[in-house]
Amino acid sequence: MIVAIGTFEMHFPEVHSLKEKRQILRSLIDRVRARFNASIAEVADNDLWQRGRVGVAMVANDRVLLEQMAQKIDSIMNDHSQAQILDSYWDYI
């Protein structure tokens, strides 16, 4: 069994309220959850309206499969027009 743990530190330059930030994060979280059946949640910077940190966790028997899924999740996060990824990190246990 292999576990993939990822974090994404994000900046929302055009957001002016916590409500706007949460709407963007909710759409990203729902998209990743539905497509990859991954555990994903906002894990830091909850009260900052232009910053956010999301944590992702996945479990599989094959590391290659997890790496492919991680790359696709990276693409989803990077392709969102209202969120800029400042830093992302994946670790495999």
Tell me the β-bridge partners of 41. 55
User: What is the average pLDDT value for the chain, to the nearest integer?
Assistant: 90
Tell me the β-bridge partners of 53. 9, 44
Tell me: pLDDT of 87 over 80: yes
Q: What is the pTM of this model?
A: 0.82
Taking residues 32-57, what's their average pLDDT? 88
Q: What is the pLDDT of residue 48?
A: 81
| Cβ-based burial of 1 (10 A; exposed 0-12, middle 13-18, buried ≥19) | exposed
Q: Specify the CATH number of the domain 2-92.
A: 3.30.70.1120
- CA-CA-CA-CA dihedral for 67, 68, 73, 75, to nearest 10: 120
